[in-house]
A and B are shown apart, each in its own frame.
Chain A
Amino acid sequence: MSDKRVITISPTTRIEGHGKVTILLDEFGNVTDAHFYATEIRGFEYFLRGMDAERLPFIVSRICGVCSTAHVIASVKAIENTYKTEITETARKLRELLLMGQIISNHSIIFFFLTLPDFWFTPEEDPSKRNIFQIMQEKPDIGKKAIALRSFGAHILRILGKREVHIVSTIPGGLISPLKEREREGLLKEAESACAITKEAVALGKELFDRNWEDFRKAGDYKTYYMALTKGDALEFHNGKIRVINPEGENFSELAAQDYMKYLEEKTYEWTYAKFAYLKALGWPKGIVQVGPTARMNVNRQITTEVADQELKEFKRKFGSPAHATLLFDYARLIDLMYSCERAKELLQDGSMTRRDTRVEVKPRGGRGIGVVEAPRGTLAHEYVLTRNGQLKSMKLIIPTQVNNAAINLNVKDAAMEFIHHGEIKPGLLNRIEMVIRAYDPCIKCATRQTNERLRVEIRNSKGKLLKIL
């Protein structure tokens, strides 16, 4: 196979982390396969063995600087699960608020900085112009709003988490210090303007989405199972049961967080060292499941806050339930954002948030524990086995990007087949493939914490002979 038949996009831009796409073409120039893979590795699971449990949360936080708060909360929950600690109601609410801060700061950046340029410009636009800085020059207002929204999320994290990135306040047993009344009032004021900005962002997103929908719907749609946390059929990020629905939208199963690891299995594909997580009960490839914003919308029937609930109903009316088109991730992310702002406001209005009982004593003990939260990109699970002395024996993490990995690869292939025919390739079309990846907002930083996450791509001919390794 000659080099002409392999297209590589590297680096994939406007996503978090280093990624690469390889598309394989046959002799007629049509797509035979496409792979998306990460180009960096680190190795957290391995080198943390032997680490003191009390030092774990702030170290695993460094897996990802973008969703660090979600990692800290999952980690602390896993340790509490091992220690059999029940935290107070106040601590639970404060943690939920922290998680809302995480979603707001993450989603605002993704919408405004990473995906908005795709909706704003046509695919034929000069790539050097297709970015937020260009939009900011045309409309300085949008930049200001993006930063204001991001700042609200960052303020929640700074005030409650004590730092914006890699928070330190959340510890096994609760939170290190309570929220002050003055801080609550300040944040509440910001929450109101954040809600207003988000409403505008949702309107803008919907307008651009409607305009491009005919195009977008072709970019890939793969019918899979969906998984997310739920609490009485409503959207939930912090506590709740894990629900899985089938591609038709019926409930497939519901499980407690403690059973999560038993429920999922990891597979290694022959062309890659990366692991793919899937539903064990269904096997591979039937058990491919997706997590993230669209999954959250598909799994839940309602949202407890007003505006977000209306948006959810509209989403379901427009795209059906479950909705499958890949680019709907971007739409669903806006509903997430709306909910987070409203929920943060709701929590901040609650006078009992400033109660001082944020912490209970923990009694260290050995054993196994799991912590599950909804991270910005989907369901995130940490499982630790601790020794009696409180040291880490082993850890297993299932990260949203790892669950979505299979779907991302399938979608990239679908999109490539849709847009590349008879060897004809335009830069705008390749950007469209990147858009599919961007929709998932895969966090390669998270996915590459393992030593074994580096992918290898092999090119084989029809007889299975190995021709080239990428």
Chain B
Amino acid sequence: MAFLKQLRVGKFVKVNIISLTCCAGCVSSFLNAGEALLEVLSGDFEIVYSPTFVDLKEIPKVDLAIVEGGVRTEDDEKFVREVRAKSRTLVALGICATHGGITSLGNILSVKKLLEKEYGLLDLSKLPELKDLMYPIGNFVDVDYYVPGCPPMPFLIVHTLKSIVGGRTPVRHQSVVCTECNRKIIPAKLKRLYGVYGKEADPETCLVSQGFVCLGSLTRDGCGAPCPRSGFTCFGCRGPADALMYRSRDMYAFFVKVISKRTSIPAEKVKEELYRNPFIFHTFIFSKLERFKARERVI
């Protein structure tokens, strides 16, 4: 990506931090970077526009725009298009921006039905315009880097930003969370699957071989596996790993096979138990991806 080498124009790299529809957790995560944050802020960055920190109300032209959150309203779309037009490089930060995030679970019903359910007598023509669904920003604008995660870990954000500012391509994480997890895969003989709180987890064995539904084997690495290491199942907040981003790969069939192999529960029974758990694979990626073709841009 040759365009990166020209990113720095003056002494500082001018940066925008933009929030669309989201929980603000990604910027919070960035603020948790501690010393590294101080280094970034005092060394390379000049944050020129960010409703959270700076009083400026007009969007200026910048070198780097960091966008958290997805597109839920017409305003969001207008905003993200304007930001794209005014920035040289754009980073989608967090799973809402890259894949739609938790809010896209609301896509199970149309907006009209959603509002009708809450208000019987709503005059929709008078409401601020909502999009029909929650979309990731990649559906509307060209994104240079996708950094999925809910939220991405502070070190991952800092690494990505530093690399971009330094004119390098950030290290890509293409594998699965299991590669960063220290648990040992020991095939077991179990009768059924367990919920997260179903029983106490053994600290050393793989959570799947203990009968927990841990999505580590499907999910992109780069987080350091904090959840499965501590005994809480991975729930897929980094989105699917590279190999699973192809539509031809059946995530579900693959996962059933993994569980069945590690627990000796017949595949049919695994399917039956998984069926009872709504949204298990799509907690964070329920949204419709239209232009998410650039696999090599996912960090």
Q: Which listed residue (A114, A133, A150) contacts B47, Cβ 8 A?
A: A133
Q: What is the distance, in angstroms, from A97's C-beta to the closest C-beta of chain B?
A: 16
Nearest-neighbour CB distance to chain B for A131, whole angstroms, equals 5
Report if A193 contacts B (CB, 8 A): no
In the complex, the answer to whether A10 meets B151 with C-beta atoms within 8 Å is no
- B52 / chain A contacts, CB cutoff of 8 Å: 13-16, 113-114
Instruction: Report how far A136 CA is from B22 CA in the complex, Å.
Output: 28
Cβ contact of B197, chosen from A50, A54, A130, cutoff 8 A: A54
Other than A15-B51, A162-B230, give 4 A-B pairs with Cβ distance below 8 A: A39-B75, A66-B25, A158-B226, A172-B197
List chain A residues, Cβ under 8 A from B150: 62, 166
Write the chain A residue with the least CB distance to B286: A47
Residues of A contacting B114 in the complex (Cβ-Cβ under 8 angstroms): 43, 46, 451
Contact check: which of B22, B34, B127 meets A65 at CB < 8 Å? Answer: B22
B105–A47 CB distance below 8 A: yes
Report yes or no: A451 in contact with B230, Cβ–Cβ below 8 A.
no
* Range class of the A interface residue count: 35 or more
B127: which A residues are within 8 A, CB to CB? 454, 456
Q: Which residues in window 1-31 of B have CB below 8 A to A?
A: 19-29, 31
Chain B residues lying within 8 Å of A46, measured Cβ to Cβ, are 106, 109, 114, 117-118
Listed A/B pairs (7) with beta-carbon separation below 8 Å:
A16-B24, A17-B24, A59-B102, A130-B55, A150-B31, A168-B232, A452-B115
The answer, yes or no, to whether B41 is at the interface (CB within 8 Å) is: yes
Given A17-B24, A54-B196, A64-B23: A451 and B115 interface contact (C-beta under 8 Å): yes
How many residue-residue contacts, CB under 8 A, span A and B?
200
Q: How large is the interface on B (under 10, 10 to 19, 20 to 34, 35 or more residues)?
A: 35 or more
Cα A133 to Cα B49 in complex, Å, equals: 12
A17, A43, A52: which has the most chain B beta carbons within 10 Å?
A43
Main secondary structure, interface of A, reads: loop
Contact of A68 among B23, B103, B227 (CB under 8 A): B23
Q: How far is it, in angstroms, between the C-alpha of A136 and the C-alpha of B130 when the chains are bound?
A: 39
- The answer to whether A257 has its CB under 8 Å from any CB of chain B is no
Knowing A166-B151, A452-B119, the reply to whether A42 touches B53 (Cβ < 8 A) is no
A144 CB to nearest chain B CB (Å): 7
In the complex, are the beta carbons of B108 and A47 less than 8 A apart?
yes
Given contacts A127-B55, A127-B56, A165-B25, contact A62 B101 (CB under 8 A): yes
- A411–B52 CA distance with the chains assembled, in angstroms: 21
Inter-subunit contact B73/A40 (CB<8 Å): yes
The answer to whether A41 touches B72 (Cβ under 8 A) is: yes
**Chain B residue at minimum C-beta to C-beta distance from A76:** B197
CB pair B41 A176 closer than 8 Å:
no
**Smallest Cβ-Cβ distance to A362: which chain B residue:** B197
Chain B residues whose CB sits within 8 angstroms of the CB of A283 once the complex forms: none
Distance, CA A12 to CA B51, complexed state (A) = 7
- Asked whether any CB of chain A lies closer than 8 Å to the CB of B35, the reply is yes
